[in-house]
């Protein structure tokens, strides 16, 4: 999937329902914040692997593009069982930190900007 080499950005794959709730409340949070203590994210290079592994073919997902410097909470890269370090956001994500909302196009394996 083409993320246009947007260096420095991290990505979170969100359910449409959760994202719509975030728009209503003013910040994004999911159950992993309670269960794991953080929100799972990935780098541009990791995004396709995560999407394929966890959400293959699902049409009810969006991708949030986030610049970590705009977050008021800590972001740590932590090792997963597969040996890769993934970014974890240790708190809610305010709407202002989401730079773009993208759709996964599974047919041509690209991201389409929904914020335009």
What confidence category does residue 6 fall into, taking pLDDT thresholds of 50, 70 and 90?
low
Mean pLDDT confidence for 84-113: 92
**What is the token pair recorded at 71?**
């977050």
Residue 87 is predicted with a pLDDT of: 97
- For the chain, percent of residues with pLDDT exceeding 90: 71
- For the chain, percent of residues with pLDDT exceeding 70: 93
Q: What is the pLDDT of residues 46-82, one digit of tens each?
A: 999 999 999 988 889 999 999 999 999 999 999 999 8
Round to the nearest angstrom and report the end-to-end CA distance of the chain.
19
Q: Which burial class, exposed, middle or buried, applies to 60 when counting CB atoms under 10 A from its CB (0-12, 13-18, 19+)?
A: exposed
Please name each of the domains of the chain with its CATH number: 10-113 (3.20.170.20)
């Amino acid at each position: 999937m083409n993320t246009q080499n947007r260096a420095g950005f991290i990505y979170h794959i969100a359910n449409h329902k959760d994202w719509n709730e975030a728009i209503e409340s003013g910040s994004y949070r999911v159950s992993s914040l309670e269960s794991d203590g953080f929100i799972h994210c990935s780098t541009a290079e990791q995004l396709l692997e995560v999407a394929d592994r966890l959400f293959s073919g699902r049409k009810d997902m969006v991708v949030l593009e986030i610049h970590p410097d705009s977050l008021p909470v800590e972001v740590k890269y932590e090792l997963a069982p597969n040996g890769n370090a993934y970014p974890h956001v240790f708190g809610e994500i305010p709407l202002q930190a989401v730079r773009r909302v993208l759709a996964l196009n599974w047919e041509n394996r690209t991201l389409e900007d929904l914020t335009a």
